Chain A
Amino acid sequence: MSDSIIRIDGLSKTFAGGFQALRQVDLSIQRGEIFALLGPNGAGKTTLISAVCGLVSPSQGTVWVDGFDNVKAYRPARERIGLVPQELTNEAFETVWNTVSFSRGLFGKPPNPTHIERVLKSLTLWEKRNNRLITLSGGMKRRVLIAKALSHEPRILFLDEPTAGVDVALRREMWDVVRELRDHGVTIILTTHYIEEAEEMADRIGVINHGEIVLVEEKHALIEKLGRKQLTVQLFEPLQTLPPGLATFALTQNDAGDELIYSYESATQKAGDGGISALLGALNKAGVGVKDLHTRQSSLEDIFVDLVKERA
């Protein structure tokens, strides 16, 4: 936790209507990582990002951006941040080039056409640079928002559902852009409802629900720790009753009786009942003929659904 580029301390937000959207959020983002923030609709993802970027006044708590208080030292704090909002918002009659150049100026940077050109090219917007924004498709408009956020060379990039409404091929291209930014040392915080996106991209994953951070974990550790594995054993002959030798294993049978499903924790495989090899030995000993085997590891999606359901 030594090199965190963003530190959020006890952040709470109660909206004017009395609704509490954030409850005592503590969170650190590491320098240079890709952090995925997951959570169901209305969990508070956008509110959290907005509070860090200065769009929402927090009711309580502090946010430090690279060591700067984002309220008291808002200039150095905000200079470091680029924000791609969830909603598509654009000055409809501006051209792509002008709107992206405008953003750079707004963030206090002198004009730099070379940089703007590079950004537009990396987002495959170069051909459209002289188009007015109303003439672009939804996916292109979203990429314009990304270009605007990158126009001032931020050290931290917030992407609030960057790939919503973006086609599959482009989504992959955008992932590449994000990875490239990370390789250049940009810290990236993204929210998404596509779990495979988090699984593919993130170094660490945070889950927020009802305004509370319920989990922050390194991605592989998370999958390892929470990921259940399932072994399905297909039998030659259906079993009416389980042979006594198998009673110690956590087994379920399918309706036809010709499949045994064995659940085990991947991380604790060797403990407990002895794991797969013990099961196979026991099956062999009981004289049960095994036709086929396959294993399945639960994905981040299963983990996420479990987690959110559990704490709801």
Chain B
Amino acid sequence: MNVYPVRAIYMAEMMRTRRTLLQSVVSPVISTSLYFVVFGAAIGSRIDEIGGVSYGAFIVPGLIMLMLLTQSVSNASFGIFFPKFSGSIYELLSAPISFLEIVIGYVGAAATKSVVLGLIILATARLFVPMEVAHPAWMLLFLLLTAVTFSMLGFIIGIWADGFDQLQLVPLLVITPLTFLGGSFYSIDMLPPFWQGVTLFNPVVYLVSGFRWSFYGISDVSMGASLAMVLLFLFVCLAVIAWIFRTGYRLKP
């Protein structure tokens, strides 16, 4: 393991973020704030408490997750897709670096950005909805693990995608529905029994549930199951990336 390539990639990616600050930080913060205003303050006051938590506060962890997932996927996918698209990836492929160094650089930068965004949005949320975080350390751990895992997923999508449309399609078609149906806006025991069963196959349920537990101590599934799912998903992504770099899938003809 050599730190210089990791640092070079990480810094270059963070510079890219700085150049596109408006689009990469300001716009997700604004759009998530709109959710807080509409669902939290306006509509939320007419909805009953869930598990002793006001609806406005209940949806905060889910909304942060929604943003965290979409941002992680889109940041990381764009970060690797762009050099592939422009051809400058030749340098990455000819450099004396292992796939792990590449992943740490790209995924690390994308995840850093997502975590910072998550914290900014959390701070913003408190302006609209009064709430406390019961287990801050667990909250941070979940934030971090989720950001890393979904940045890896984004990295895979970025390598897989052949064009900009595919790059946008996956977050739109997969991530957003999974999050909306993953209990961001409701507790899954509010669903009919059949759908409760189906929902348990949605990995996002475990993330939202675990994350919400770290805020309010209430959860849909057990904390252990949540953590196990995140870690499982993380290692699956890592294995896929290792396979991509070993076989050169979509990277080398």
Give chain A's interface residues, CB within 8 Å of chain B.
Answer: 15-16, 53-57, 74-79, 81, 83, 85, 87, 89-94, 98, 101-110, 148
Contact = CB atoms under 8 A, between A and B. Distances in A.
Contacts of B86: 89-92
Contacts of A76: 96
A85 B5 contact: no
B5 A107 contact: yes
Nearest to B248: A57
A75 B5 CA distance: 12
A75 B99 CA distance: 12
A85 B12 contact: no
A136 to B, nearest CB: 15
Given A85-B90, A105-B4, A108-B97, 16 more contacts: A15-B253, A54-B252, A56-B252, A75-B96, A75-B97, A77-B96, A81-B94, A90-B86, A90-B88, A91-B83, A92-B86, A102-B11, A104-B4, A105-B5, A106-B95, A148-B91
A56 B88 contact: no
Contacts of B88: 89-91
A133 to B, nearest CB: 10
Which 8 A-B pairs rank lowest in CB-CB distance, beginning with the nearest? A105-B8, A89-B87, A78-B96, A53-B94, A75-B96, A89-B88, A79-B96, A108-B2
A106 B87 contact: no
Contacts of B94: 53-55, 78, 81, 83
Interface in B52-92: 83, 86-88, 90-92
B8 A54 contact: no
B253 A89 contact: no
A98 B5 contact: no
Q: Is the interface of B mostly helix, strand, loop or mixed?
A: helix
Given A74-B96, A93-B19, A108-B96, A83 B5 contact: no
A109 B4 contact: yes
B181 to A, nearest CB: 37
Interface residues of B, number: 27
11 contacts: A56-B252, A75-B97, A78-B94, A83-B94, A89-B86, A91-B12, A101-B8, A105-B4, A105-B8, A108-B95, A148-B91
Given A53-B94, A55-B94, A89-B90, A108 B253 contact: no
B229 interface: no
Contacts of B231: none
Contact of A108 (B5, B12, B19): B5
B234 interface: no
Contacts of B104: none
Contacts of B11: 102, 105
B96 A55 contact: no
Given A55-B90, A85-B87, A106 B97 contact: yes
A57 B252 contact: yes
Nearest to A80: B96
A209 B191 CA distance: 68
Contacts of B7: 105
A76 B96 CA distance: 7
Interface string B200-214: 000000000000000
B82 to A, nearest CB: 8
Contact of A107 (B93, B95, B253): B95
Nearest to A52: B94
Interface in B4-27: 4-5, 7-9, 11-12, 15-16, 19
Interface in B207-253: 248, 252-253
A108 B4 contact: yes
B158 to A, nearest CB: 15
A54 B4 contact: no
B96 A107 contact: yes
Interface in B84-133: 86-88, 90-98
Nearest to A49: B94
B87 A87 contact: yes
